Structure 1
Amino acid sequence: MARKASLSGFPELLPEERLVENHVLDTLRETFELHGFSNIETRSVETKEQLLRKGEIDKEVYGISRLLDENSTTKSEKEQLALHFDLTVPFARYVVENAGYLNFPFMRYQMQKVWRGERPQDGRFREFTQADVDVVGDGALPFRYDVELALVVIESLRKLEIGDFKLRVNNRKLSEGFYRGIGLDDTAGVLRSIDKLEKIGPDAVAQLLKDELGASDEQAQAALNLAQICTEDTSFVNEVKKLGVEHALLEEGLRELEEVVGQAAKRAPGNIVADLSIARGLDYYTGTVYETVLVGHEKLGSICSGGRYESLASNGKRNFPGVGLSIGVTRLVSRIISQKMAEPTRKVPSAVLIALTSDQTWSDAQDVADSLRQRGIACEVSATAAKFGKQIKFAEKRGIPFVWFVSTKEDGSLKHEVKDIRSGEQIEADPQHWAPSTEDLHVRIEAAQ
């Protein structure tokens, strides 16, 4: 990812960088499944009508058609195809179409590429991988899943050893109830203004509230006072109450956020933050909202975000509420690689290079390789019988720790020796029983010291 891309916004990785990405994906997959989530994959293509159902983002959607399709411009949105720009919209369609085959609450995770026509910059790409984890219900969804999602994501990111991070949590009911309590009924408009707080600052946000929503100085200041509350425990409840605003929706949001933060702080202290400036400007969020930042890399933006939506999808007769989070895998991996936050212990999967003493020993070397591979030891065989020093150098460049030598004894039997090229130690070895240490068996991704 450090190389100059020939197509801007479409990243490609070197083999050792791909090892880091695979480690991230494998860790997420393992953690999601430990919590009971099932994996699905949806198609990359949706109809334009389906993709634009949740908002006007047509400038970011990549349409697709056959190069010689003369009717592509006259087709209706139901007929026009486009690449999905996230995994939530395809998931909503998937739930509706397969509702009769799913058990609810349905817990799914999904890791796929998505495409978005954004201006490429640090952390933003046109083609990138997302990892989504959601729970969706049929008609209703217990609130406890909002807590579960926070714990799943915290556990996943902790396992990646990416340094300190903060899962910032708020609740739309809390915010909307507060705004109604101070007389601002256009709560969606207030949320969109508050969502710009980190970009333009409190003074500019206050002016937006007054100019666009007709807020008084007192109302604008009250909205900012709420947004400035940020605690790592449930003490935010008292801070909100001190503001003296009352509304039933506010009370409901306070109770829900208190449960999320209380449980997460108990199990993952230091990683959860009640941050009442988090607005998530998208209209479909209805309760808990999440954003995650890497400490020291805040300018990268959120690496994981999401929230509760009371209507993920509907087929007219049934409504499917849900709660979910999306991890920007490519954004996260790009920062891990560029900042050397974690690195693979070697560039290739192979733990052993089987050297050739002569071209005639290639078949014997393959026998050794077969024996090692049958026992789960990744290895490769030299293609030519170059000088041993050159073969060892080849292994060294790739980070392969062991070189295996096969020679013929005076009685015609084969002699096997394996050399640890890091220490120089060389010992006789039996292909049927020898194995590297647990640490050397597989590539490991190690956090920077």
Structure 2
Amino acid sequence: MARNASLSGYLEFLPTERLTELHVLDTLRHVFEIHGFSSLETRAVETMDTLLQKGEIDKEIYAVSRIHQDERAGKEAKLALRFDNTVPFARYVTENAGHLAFPFRRYQIQKVWRGERPQAGRFREFSQADIDIVGDGALPFRCDVEIAVVMARALEALPIGDFTLRVNNRKLSEGFYRTIGINDTAAVLRIVDKLEKIGPDRVAQELIDTLGASPRQAQSALDLAQIRTVDGSFAAKVRELVGEDVTALLNEGLTELSELMSELNARVPGRAVADLSIARGLDYYTGTVIETTLHGHEELGSVCSGGRYESLASKGKRVFPGVGLSIGVTRLLSALLNSGELAASRSVPTVVYVTLRSAEDWGAAQDIADKLRSRGISAEVALSAEKFGKQIKYADRRGIPFVWFTDDDGRHEVKDIRSGEQSEAHPSHWAPPAEDLNPQIIRKTENL
């Protein structure tokens, strides 16, 4: 996949890579749908005001305008391409609340656009896959649990290798910071969120310089961030740090994270770790926060992230709390394709290439192909009656595994051009081996 692009930041897959992408998208759809999530697609454009209300990302937004403006242009709302699926989803919920049954469960797989500087793993146009559960006024915590379990199962179903869900709870973190005397919890969460990028020393110094924290408070914040457990034992470690002074908010966070870890270990064992360094810098997260590390590709950062939000979507006094996670599909795929870890077994869906003995045989060859297609076997027909050697070479270049021949007496034979084996066949009942019916996505573990 390492090819020069004519326009940087915009990825175009070759056919074999596109087959891999489609397999990933179809797998995600299947897992989401068997867990009861409905498919949703929102428009590509939103008003600039809608996109800017939930974050300071104005420099990354692509504005949309017409080449030929008219006198009404100044009165119309400024439009821009969506930079994620969450903000458009919040707008969709508020506009369509009267037509939705809550809790509303949706998945959304669409392109998004960001005006970032293109670099390895970062694109200006890319696909994201989101799942969310949104309530009307209230949303049970068990929805946090379900979202995490479903996403873990979706990632397990993909041929991506080992991964870990790193989970935390903002209530736990905020309660702890207040307990040690730091009240600007939103600011400290944003600083702690930089821990893996800038290291503990610079995080501590920034807490001191920016928030006026004492060295002891900064060290306590780092002590919390260093807690990582594969079970519920993190709770005891947190209590050791604060002693008897456990606030209601801290206790609520401990309880929720303990329940989440317990359910994850029961339903997707070995996939989660309680990592109290996870903060998620966006202010709208209010409880559960999750980031996902792909083993062997830690340089990608989080390939799947999200969490709980209480008021991302609202309409007057009506509030729609929710919880959601998002996979950066393009980011994930580009890394695995570039490393050679993922590949399709062939570059086309075609299983059989039906050859021609003469130009007049084209109609009969189409009849053969249609019989195969009626039984779910992908087939295509030669366009001209070239020498059989050329027709076979063409099929081989296309990656088609089988070539079909019909003689003057109407007898049929099919050849596996990989092995050279050729045998009698009939379009009404011949079928390829199950593994050849559709392209297979191969994960080459020897490259890991």
TM-score (norm 1): 0.96
Cα deviation, residue 442, structure 1:
0.9
Structure 1 equivalent of residue 438 of structure 2: 442
Give how far 1:54 is off.
0.6
- Between stretches 386-395 and 33-42, larger displacement belongs to 386-395
User: For 1:234 and 1:123, how far apart are their aligned partners in 2?
Assistant: 34
Identify the range of structure 1 (233-242 vs 132-141) with the bigger mean alpha-carbon deviation: 233-242
Post-superposition CA distance 1:250-308 (Å, at most 9, x none): 11001101111111112222211111001101000000001111112111111111000
In the alignment, the residues of structure 1 paired with residue 178 and residue 374 of structure 2 have an alpha-carbon distance, to the nearest angstrom, of: 67
User: What is the CA–CA distance in structure 1 between the aligned matches of 2:312 and 2:218, rounded to whole Å?
Assistant: 32
The match for 2:273 is 273
Runs of 4+ off more than 6 Å: none
Structure 1: 5+ residue runs without aligned partners?
A: none
Counterpart in the other structure of 1:384 = 384
Q: CA deviation at 1:394?
A: 1.6
Whether the 8 Å contact between 1:168 and 1:291 is mirrored in structure 2 is yes
Call closer, same or farther: CA 1:422–1:275 in 2, change over 3 Å: same
Structure-to-structure mapping, 1:151-300, within 5 angstroms? 151-245=149-243, 246-300=246-300
User: Secondary structure of the equivalent of 1:54?
Assistant: coil
Shift of 1:239: 1.2
Once residues 338 and 226 of structure 2 are traced to their aligned partners in structure 1, the CA distance between those partners, rounded to angstroms, is 32
Moved more, 104-113 or 377-386: 377-386
Superposed CA RMSD = 1.3
Using the TM superposition, give the Cα deviation of residue 397 of structure 1 relative to its aligned residue in structure 2, in angstroms: 2.1
2:365 counterpart residue number: 365
Give the Cα–Cα distance (whole angstroms) in 2 for the partners of residues 191 and 356 of structure 1.
68
Offset of 1:70 from its aligned partner?
A: 5.7
Change (3 A) 1:120 1:357: same
> Does structure 2 retain, via aligned residues, the 8 Å contact 1:193–1:205?
yes
1:417 match: 413
**What displacement does 1:71 show?**
6.0
What letter matches 2:423 in structure 1?
A: I
Structure 2 residue identity aligned to 1:281: G
Quote the offset at 1:312 in angstroms: 2.5
- Percent of aligned pairs with the same residue? 65
Residues 40-84 of structure 1 show CA distances to partners (whole Å, capped at 9, x for unaligned) of: 100001111111111221111111111121669845xx7111111
- Distance (whole Å) between structure 2 residues aligned to residue 329 and residue 43 of structure 1: 19
Look up the match of 2:48: 48
Picking from 97, 100, 116, the partner of 1:99 is: 97
Q: Which amino acid aligns with 2:332?
A: L
- Name the structure 2 match of 1:432: 428
2:333 maps to a residue whose letter is V
Post-superposition offset of 1:415: 1.3
Quote how far apart the aligned CAs of 1:247 are: 1.6
- Partners of 2:33 and 2:312 lie apart in 1 by 22
Q: Is the 8 A contact 1:72 1:80 kept in 2?
A: no
Structure 1 position 317, deviation (Å): 2.9
* Separation (CA, whole Å) in 2 of partners of 1:260 and 1:69: 53
| Unpaired runs of at least 5, structure 2 | none
Q: 2:402·2:417 contact (CA, 8 Å) conserved in 1?
A: yes
In the TM superposition, residue 208 of structure 1 has moved relative to its aligned partner by: 0.4
Q: Return 177-186 or 161-170, whichever deviates more.
A: 161-170
Aligned pairs (5 A) from 1:389-400: 389-400=389-400
- C-alpha deviations, 1:364-391, integer Å up to 9, x for none? 1111011111111101111122221221
Aligned to 1:133: 131
The answer to which of 178-187 and 238-247 deviates more is: 238-247
Give the Cα separation in 2 of the matches to 1:307 and 1:28: 19
Whole-Å separation in 1 of the counterparts to 2:256 and 2:71: 51
Query: Whole-Å Cα distance in 1 between the matches of residues 317 and 423 of structure 2?
Result: 72
- Across the two proteins, how many residue pairs are aligned to each other? 443
Amino acid at match of 1:182: I
**Take 1:387 and 1:261, find their aligned partners in 2: how far apart are those partners?**
64
> Given that residues 50 and 87 in structure 2 are in contact (C-alpha distance below 8 angstroms), is that contact kept between their aligned partners in structure 1?
yes
Per the alignment, do residues 214 and 400 of structure 1 end up closer, same or farther by CA in structure 2, a change over 3 Å counting?
same
Worse overlay, 108-117 or 1-10:
1-10
Please give the alpha-carbon distance, in whole angstroms, between the structure 2 residues aligned to 1:220 and 1:73. 52
Q: Which residue of 2 aligns with 1:356?
A: 356
Tell which deviates more after alignment, 425-434 or 57-66: 425-434
Q: CA deviation at 1:395?
A: 1.6
Deviations along 1:168-201, one digit per CA (max 9) or x if unpaired, are: 1110000000000000000011101101111111
Corresponding residue for residue 106 of structure 2: 108
Give the TM-score of the pair, scaled to structure 2: 0.97
Cα 1:446/1:259, change in 2 over 3 Å: same
